[in-house]
Amino acid sequence: MSGRIENPVLPGFHPDPSIVRVGDDYYIATSTFEWFPGVRIHHSRDLVNWRLLGHALTRRSQVELRGIADSAGVWAPSLSYADGMFWLVYTNVRTRVGNFKDVGVFLATAPDILGPWSEPIFIHSIGFDPSLFHDTDGRKWIVNMSWDFRPGRARFAGIVVQKYDHAQRRLVGPMTNILAKPVLTEGPNLYQRGGWYYLMLAEGGTGWNHGISMARSRAITGPYELDPQAAVLTSRDDPSLALQKAGHGEIVETPQGEWFLAHLASRPIGANRRCILGRETCLQRVVWSDDGWLRLARGGHHPRVSVEAPAGLSEMRWPSIPTRDDFCAPELDAHWCALRGPLDESWVSLRERVGWLRLRGRESVHSLFDQSLVARRLTSVRCVAETCVEFSPTHFTQMAGLICWYDTRTHFYLRITHDEKLGRVLGVVLTDDGAYDELAASQLAIGEWPRAFLRATIRGEKLQFSACADGVAWRDVGPVLDATKLSDDYGAGLHFTGAFAGLCAQDLGGTRAAADFDYFSLEPSLV
């Protein structure tokens, strides 16, 4: 196949890619953190064109997210195929900051990539970013980083391996520390080639200093020698590169013997270099050097935006993703997701009013438990999100509308609510790094509107809300907002997700007031 791979191949919030080939099919699994369902799975036949198949973790029994912090939850899944079935190892991080992580490492299996995926098997809680290595002798090994919570110790305690016995559903034998480095090292994956065990590592933390390094050994339990080249892939030394924060990857071989590296990267914009779209999935062509080390095919260690496509593969294009959802299907498609729990009829319905999406209000936009919010990832920093809503609140604790979301601590919300003096009103509320505010100057009485058309226009660093009663005579609502705040790089603490646009409803009075949405569109904009 002639042509190019254009990065990112999975734009928007798609971090920590795990790639596997089964026959002529390629699959990538990515992290989902606090979003439900868990672990997105994409599919390709040519490594150029990708489609979303669905998710692996679709039940609370597979991953419980209620109450977990922003940017906790499902970290760094590892997808593999052996013994005629798919294997998925993943972490559910319940405590994100402080000495302890309180992680749970789990394993699920499926006969088909579409599932059904099994109930999870608990592995351990010593660290995150696990992977499962299937050795040629039939043995299986869990490999992951070990976290040290003790005062005065480096938090990274080394990369460890231990045998896994699937018949017994548990780890067996000793745990062996196979590599320790003075920098944070995570995301370990093992490969076997030419009599060597190769250990691929994510290094330097998943930010501006991120990168991928390698080590190898003749025995799986070591000793391992470090790659003489410090990084196979990184952008830490060149802030001018379009793809920054490059790191955390896995490799895959085509039937023609070509190798590709799937990795994450981010694309900063503006003077503050903020990455609205979060960490995205990219592909690089790699080769094995004469002395047996993995190298980028074009030399150096910098990620490229455009990469030569694999040879010998026929191009396979998929239907384009609709930019508008008129809510006429019996279920929401796989591009929609919710916070910390399943999309079920108790709060989100396409059946109660055919052709409309009905949300029943639950907890506030700061809740870590039961929010009525559905959203889609932004895949461009120039886009327009739009909806039409019918909502008749009777109290100020009832709200519904269009939201531009990063997490519970940072988001912008164009919402309808009730004011004791003005009746039904429309206005902008926001949470800025944890500080809640209602922009009084933006408030507009809309008691005569039968329905409200709501719009959010993002043009790079700028976000402008607008609204109208007829879908024609749009007017701005509120000031121009800083869209770059919807990013990993803004606010206190560490953040790992990306920007979304979506619909939500709240009813703090417990009556579950209904908001009906006629459609939702998320269109790329060239303006």
Strand partners, 432: 435
Q: Which domain holds residue 426?
A: 324-524
Residue 430: predicted pLDDT: 98
Strand partners, 520: 325, 387
User: For residue 315, is it within any domain?
Assistant: no
Going by pLDDT thresholds of 50, 70 and 90, the confidence category of residue 136 is very high
- 290: which residues sit within 8 A by CB, 6+ positions away? none
262, 282, 308 - which closes a domain? 308
Do 293 and 435 lie in one domain? The reply is no
The 8-class DSSP code of residue 16 comes to S
pLDDT digits (tens, 9 = 90+) for 347-380: 999 999 999 999 999 999 999 999 999 999 999 9
Q: Are 185 and 227 in contact (CB under 8 A)?
A: no
pTM of the full predicted structure?
0.97
Going by pLDDT thresholds of 50, 70 and 90, the confidence category of residue 429 is very high
pLDDT digits (tens, 9 = 90+) for 46-93: 999 999 999 999 999 999 999 999 999 999 999 999 999 999 999 999
Residue with tokens 């004791």, as numbered in its chain: 420
The mean pLDDT value for 218-247 works out to: 98
Do 104 and 227 lie in one domain? The reply is yes
Amino acid at 23: G
pLDDT digits (tens, 9 = 90+) for 22-45: 999 999 999 999 999 999 999 999
Going by pLDDT thresholds of 50, 70 and 90, the confidence category of residue 96 is confident
Question: Active-site residues: which are they?
Answer: 16, 186
Do 252 and 227 lie in one domain? The reply is yes
Residue 334: predicted pLDDT: 97
Do 422 and 514 lie in one domain? The reply is yes
pLDDT digits (tens, 9 = 90+) for 45-56: 999 999 999 999
- Percentage of the chain modeled with pLDDT above 70: 100
Q: Strand 280-288 relative to strand 306-308: parallel, antiparallel, unpaired?
A: unpaired
Residue 526: predicted pLDDT: 75
Residue 101: predicted pLDDT: 87
Contacts 24+ apart (CB under 8 A), 218-224: 220/133, 220/135, 220/141, 220/161, 220/178, 220/190, 221/161, 221/176, 221/178, 222/176, 222/178, 222/179, 223/178, 224/178, 224/179, 224/197, 224/199
Answer yes or no: is pLDDT of 493 > 70: yes
Domains identified in the chain, total number: 2
User: For residue 172, is it within any domain?
Assistant: yes
User: For residue 334, is it within any domain?
Assistant: yes
Answer yes or no: is pLDDT of 1 > 70: no
Do 291 and 350 lie in one domain? The reply is no
Do 263 and 384 lie in one domain? The reply is no
Q: Is the dihedral of CA 257, 263, 267, 272 positive or negative?
A: negative
Residue 26 CA to residue 313 CA, distance in Å, equals 12
Answer yes or no: is pLDDT of 98 > 90: no
Residue 331: predicted pLDDT: 95
Do 408 and 284 lie in one domain? The reply is no
Two tokens at 119?
Answer: 């109930």
User: For residue 328, is it within any domain?
Assistant: yes
Do 101 and 154 lie in one domain? The reply is yes
Strand partners, 13: none
pLDDT digits (tens, 9 = 90+) for 326-342: 999 999 999 999 999 99
User: For residue 317, is it within any domain?
Assistant: no
Answer yes or no: is pLDDT of 311 > 80: yes
308, 343, 376 - which closes a domain? 308
The 8-class DSSP code of residue 442 comes to G
The mean pLDDT value for 166-175 works out to: 98
Residue 320: predicted pLDDT: 93
- 264: which residues sit within 8 A by CB, 6+ positions away? 14, 15, 16, 17, 206, 210, 245, 246, 247, 248, 249, 279, 280, 281, 282
Residue with tokens 């795990």, as numbered in its chain: 18
Do 419 and 292 lie in one domain? The reply is no
User: For residue 314, is it within any domain?
Assistant: no
- Percentage of the chain modeled with pLDDT above 90: 96
Residue 400 CA to residue 412 CA, distance in Å, equals 13
User: For residue 8, is it within any domain?
Assistant: yes
Going by pLDDT thresholds of 50, 70 and 90, the confidence category of residue 97 is confident
CATH of the domain at 411: 2.60.120.200
Do 282 and 394 lie in one domain? The reply is no
Two tokens at 35?
Answer: 């979003």
Q: Are 132 and 78 in contact (CB under 8 A)?
A: yes
Do 304 and 328 lie in one domain? The reply is no
pLDDT digits (tens, 9 = 90+) for 244-273: 999 999 999 999 999 999 999 999 999 999
Residue 361 φ/ψ, nearest 5 degrees: -65, 140
CATH of the domain at 220: 2.115.10.20
Answer yes or no: is pLDDT of 291 > 90: yes
Residue 2: predicted pLDDT: 63
pLDDT digits (tens, 9 = 90+) for 435-464: 999 999 999 999 999 999 999 999 999 999
Do 264 and 336 lie in one domain? The reply is no
User: For residue 90, is it within any domain?
Assistant: yes
Residue 517: predicted pLDDT: 99
280, 308, 336 - which closes a domain? 308
Residue 250 φ/ψ, nearest 5 degrees: -140, 160
Amino acid at 189: N
Going by pLDDT thresholds of 50, 70 and 90, the confidence category of residue 3 is confident
